[in-house]
Structure 1
Amino acid sequence: MSVELPSPLLWLLTLLLGLCLGSFMNVVITRVPVMLMRRWRAEARAALELPAEETSTFNLLTPSSMCPRCEYPITWRDKLPLVGYVLCRGRCAQCQTRISPQYPLIELAGAGLTVAVVAIHGASLASLMLIGVCLALLALAVIDFRTQLLPDAITLPLLWAGLGYHLWFQPLWLANAVIGAMAGYLVLWGFYWLFKLLTGKEGMGYGDFKLLAALGAWLGWPFLPLLLILSAGLGAIIGLTMQFAMPRLRGMPIPFGPFLAMAGWIAILFDSHLMSLYQGLLL
């Protein structure tokens, strides 16, 4: 079901929606790793039979946003996507500590992905789900780049949402999606063990397996070779460029998740056109 709105109003609403969702992705990116660390610490203390730590509630909603340095609460005006950052001139209103440019950049990325989905796939409920997967990939890419973690709390719901998407909107493609989820996990699992047997090192983490499984659920098994080619190509180009531009990164492990996410965006936005191009090159 598509939504029919006057074109200027549609694009304004799409842009505002993308900015707001991008702002929420900042919360996810910032807080989910801390939530995981807190949970793992509590589980470790319980396993060692140590007394539980006294900790305050910390989740995506609590506590309210505050400056990480002076803990001054951020006002509603300063939370407005992009506007708040500009009004504060990129600094905390209380202690003048510089605010990370990550926040406006993620908001802009959220807006860009949202507008791109609507421009290519139209304004519909199916597009809203595609916006959701693109933003989840954005959060996973940044979390993995910063912490080398791909949280199950995002990858596993993403996998089930992909199967649900096909069950609802494309039931004839559901079998391909199920096989895609299974094959996506097993392919990288196989690469992981082959690399480990040959080198004695771990080339990637289990989160990468789950992320490719989630992409397989959204796109179906025919897209898996293309996803691997795209992600490996992007990883080689961007990784080499980063190490050449920043010598301090040489020899450091580069997470694979961001490149899988990029390949996922490309495949989701240009699915049929990309597959036609890929098949044409093969033939």
Structure 2
Amino acid sequence: MPDLPLIMWALIAGVFGLLIGSFLNVVILRLPVRLDALWQQEAREVLGVDTPVEPLPPGIVRERSHCPHCKHPLAAYDNIPLFSWLLLGGRCRYCRAPISIQYPLVEALTAVLSAIVVWKFGPTWAALAGLFFTWALVALSGIDFRTQLLPDQITQPLLWAGLALSLCHLFVEPNAAILGAAIGYLSLWSVYWLFKLLTGKEGMGFGDFKLLAALGAWMGPVSLLPVILLSSLVGALIGGTMIVLRKHAREVPMPFGPFIALAGWIWFVAGDYLWHAYMSFSGIR
């Protein structure tokens, strides 16, 4: 690889992250709709329901991007990550309908997180794996925030990638990855059933179990308690703020996946610093 300063590698990762963020927007918006249509199609086939075959919603790769309001296909210069949204003033060039703030936020967030990962690991295989880890978490967070769904199409490859990478001893050893995946899944699974037995309600979805299992596969069992604590803290702060500002009713369920993903990413890139800070603060040697 070229002998570039670390800051240059981080900047390159940030620019590339903008492009990936644009693609992740497509995944966040189209994958749940596509999956829902496929599930309905399969259900009709299993039940033997004879209904007209409707065309499936746009896929992730082949169909061109278009305005969700006027359906006009977007030109290449309308799809420049972040900058097109700014230049257009957040409105469609063709119908002047507002463009969701989600687009630039996901692109900017993916760029920043990608740059941080490369700054942390340098131009290494660990950084490449860390970028995949980061992009998967961004996609899962966006989907869960919008639909309260954590699709197996992303959580399962993330889990298996963590287990496979442990064979290369990239982040954790294989035994730690296996234990992390098992404990991560079973811990939230146990909480789910305990809560359901006590209240008769479902406190979280099965996708949360799989996401924490994937984090355990990537970072081992020792990461799980800090991740759960961090996600609970962030969830309580954000949820409490939304309730206080009356933007979210108390009875309306709030997705927990984005908080697990955020806590997992923080521990992935800064867990060692946080642990040393805690040890110094507590006076433990």
Common fold, TM-score beyond 0.5? Answer: yes
Return the letter of the residue paired with 1:109.
L
1:226-241 equivalence runs, <5 A: 226-241=226-241
Contact 1:167 1:174 in 2 (8 A): yes
1:1-283 equivalence runs, <5 A: 4-6=3-5, 9-51=8-50, 53-56=53-56, 58-170=58-170, 173-278=173-278, 281=282, 283=284
Instruction: Provide, for residues 122-172 of structure 1, a one-character-per-residue CA deviation record: whole Å limited to 9, x for no partner.
Output: 122210110111121111112111111000000000001111222224386
Q: Which moved more, 1:242-251 or 1:73-82?
A: 242-251
Q: Which moved more, 1:55-64 or 1:224-233?
A: 55-64
CA distance in 2, matches of 1:83, 1:247: 29
Residue 43 of structure 1, CA deviation: 1.3
Contact 1:223 1:275 in 2 (8 A): no
Q: Which moved more, 1:209-218 or 1:270-279?
A: 270-279
CA distance in 2, matches of 1:210, 1:240: 26
Contact 2:120 2:269 in 1 (8 A): yes
Structure 2: gaps of 5 or more residues: none
Residue 217 of structure 1, CA deviation: 0.4
CA distance in 1, matches of 2:35, 2:158: 18
Return the letter of the residue paired with 1:240.
G
Return the letter of the residue paired with 1:122.
G
Return the letter of the residue paired with 1:141.
S
Contact 1:155 1:210 in 2 (8 A): yes
CA distance in 1, matches of 2:221, 2:248: 38
Contact 1:212 1:260 in 2 (8 A): yes
Contact 1:145 1:258 in 2 (8 A): yes
SS at match of 1:162: helix
CA distance in 2, matches of 1:192, 1:39: 28
Q: Residues 164 and 3 of structure 1: is their aligned pair in 2 closer, same or farther, counting only changes over 3 Å?
A: farther
Return the letter of the residue paired with 2:23.
F
Structure 1: gaps of 5 or more residues: none
Residue 271 of structure 1, CA deviation: 2.6
Residue 277 of structure 1, CA deviation: 3.8
SS at match of 2:75: coil
How many residues end up aligned between the 2 structures?
282
Instruction: Provide, for residues 245-281 of structure 1, a one-character-per-residue CA deviation record: whole Å limited to 9, x for no partner.
Output: 1254222111110110111111111132233345564
SS at match of 1:68: coil
Instruction: Provide, for residues 180-227 of structure 1, a one-character-per-residue CA deviation record: whole Å limited to 9, x for no partner.
Output: 001100000000011111111110010000000000001101111111
Instruction: Provide, for residues 71-121 of structure 1, a one-character-per-residue CA deviation record: whole Å limited to 9, x for no partner.
Output: 100111111111211222211111111100100010000011011111122
Return the letter of the residue paired with 2:79.
K
SS at match of 1:95: coil
Return the letter of the residue paired with 1:170.
L
CA distance in 2, matches of 1:83, 1:242: 30
SS at match of 1:249: coil
Contact 1:126 1:169 in 2 (8 A): no
